Structure 1
């Protein structure tokens, strides 16, 4: 008889005393055998006390930011299956058994909870968050060549080999974007499961700042493109520089052949400089593309060190 998998839930929390008790209770009801870890991220209220009273194992991460919590939890917790869910009681914990079943039967390494709402129910999204999420889904999916329906969802089920191969470099709410790109770049098997999504309970406030966090995520996407698609990134940059060099340099060359003179000497120097920079950008892209392949091979080998979900 096979040994049942060890399942661990990671619940990042900051000032969620209103919601965290219900989140822990709902998770316990959904998957009774699961160990629930609540990470108190420097809360100033009774979040830790409420979580402990509800039966969770409470740990503290002093560095502010959800990314720091996930980084710490992924390093410290040993399990076969990892669940990540926000502590604000907006996700339907009852969907968790289906997500875990999907992961094990696939077998998949990453199951994303895609937020859905019944028809006629007012959206729990802020309008800016919903629009931004759709835009990031389109942008990241297009660049990395894989479809994703809800890349900013904080509800995920992951295998051990996925978690232990994930570098977790982000500090704050960009962690979901980094997780999504890791799925795409490592090309691990994944699936999506619709999950219920609702408003926060009364007295609980969102920590997201639409524009501030949106720009942070956009900046992370740009950095991930540079790191995960260097030939694409530097190729576009190099091509733009070469195009500008041609546009401003061709008239100078034509005039030289017609008159034997270079009256616009500064323009000629600028065109040459831009051309050299464009060629260098392409060279950097090619070198980093080779480095990327070596890094992905290393990540893949690290991923293969761990057994698949069973």
Structure 2
């Protein structure tokens, strides 16, 4: 471990729901690799012995009554104030031994977020094809629609943040889409970020995944669409405006030949619909411009909060 990693305070947050079998592996691994870090287990309503196991191993425990991984992480962001903060799932699939490398990278390059990339996979069962394919599709969407240092593992649940990152995070998210919002927070504020390959392995035998492949995948896709509309409204609304306007224009043009021949407007319903679509198209474009200005102001305000939290030299 680099000596520089001891200069700043550090905490690790483990959001948990019924992880009594896997949690000991995570806590013990972190105690070995990051002995100076505070370890916090944010329990999200476990009905097994997760809380007892965490306390017996010396971790601090906080219960979060609102259901959802996102709520647990948001509560940790509000509670803690260390210079650097890790999040890691409590299912023992991530490489706890990589924590010092992630932390050193963040400090040495002054990065606000470092993400553990799940590429070096020990067991194919750990990263099922459906999850891998879905992650690639969703990551590809973000890389396409958002500029900056684009991510390679959008849904990784193993990251380290600077204090100014997590104290400026403004969103309220309940579930597994939290990782998407964390990535987009860094991209929209043009924060310096990094990535590092880590080992990803299968859960311990007997423990069950809380990820529902299709429902949670659709929630994450919905989150990306909402973020595109919120963070890039000019792009989103202008494309919608062009589509609606094109339909209105086609309908209107179909009336012109007969009007030039007879001097009469045929098919009044079509004419009314064409006019309404073109007007709606103009209104949609105007909304895009207004929302673009609002989004810019909101980003500037978040940026001010971001700059108020910094590490002292």
Q: TM-score range with shorter-chain normalisation?
A: over 0.9
Matched, 1:78 2:78: no
**Residue pairs, 1:159-238, within 5 angstroms:** 159-238=162-241
Deviation per CA, 1:4-41: give whole Å up to 9, x if none. 21101000000000011111110110010000000110
Distance 1:27 1:226 in 2: 39
Corresponding pairs, count = 309
Alignment match of 1:129 (pick from 128, 131, 155): 131
Task: Structure 2 unaligned segments of length 5 or more: list them.
Answer: none
Matched, 1:149 2:152: yes
Q: What's the secondary structure of 1:117's corresponding residue?
A: strand
Name the structure 2 match of 1:56. 59
User: RMSD of the alignment, in Å?
Assistant: 1.6
* Equivalent pair of 2:120/2:197 in contact (CA under 8 Å): no
* Equivalent pair of 2:242/2:281 in contact (CA under 8 Å): yes
Distance 2:5 2:186 in 1: 28
Distance 1:87 1:168 in 2: 23
* Equivalent pair of 1:107/1:308 in contact (CA under 8 Å): no
87-96 vs 246-255, which moves further: 246-255
CA shift for structure 1 position 155: 0.3
CA shift for structure 1 position 118: 4.9
Q: What's the secondary structure of 2:155's corresponding residue?
A: coil
* Equivalent pair of 1:5/1:81 in contact (CA under 8 Å): yes
Distance 1:34 1:113 in 2: 18
Distance 1:15 1:123 in 2: 21
CA shift for structure 1 position 3: 8.0
* Equivalent pair of 1:81/1:309 in contact (CA under 8 Å): no
Q: Which 4+ runs in 1 deviate beyond 3 A?
A: none
Matched, 1:257 2:260: yes
Alignment match of 1:103 (pick from 99, 106, 118): 106
Alignment match of 1:42 (pick from 41, 45, 56): 45
CA shift for structure 1 position 145: 2.0
TM-score calculated relative to the size of structure 1: 0.97
Deviation per CA, 1:243-280: give whole Å up to 9, x if none. 11111111113321222112211011111111111101
Distance 1:46 1:118 in 2: 29
CA shift for structure 1 position 122: 2.4
**Residue pairs, 1:108-119, within 5 angstroms:** 108-118=111-121
Distance 2:20 2:207 in 1: 8
* Equivalent pair of 1:159/1:309 in contact (CA under 8 Å): no
Matched, 1:17 2:10: no
Name the structure 2 match of 1:88. 91
CA shift for structure 1 position 125: 1.2
Distance 1:240 1:308 in 2: 48
* Equivalent pair of 2:6/2:36 in contact (CA under 8 Å): no
Deviation per CA, 1:175-194: give whole Å up to 9, x if none. 00000111110110000011
* Equivalent pair of 2:121/2:201 in contact (CA under 8 Å): no
Distance 1:177 1:167 in 2: 13
CA shift for structure 1 position 309: 7.9
Deviation per CA, 1:53-76: give whole Å up to 9, x if none. 111001100111000001111001
TM-score calculated relative to the size of structure 2: 0.96
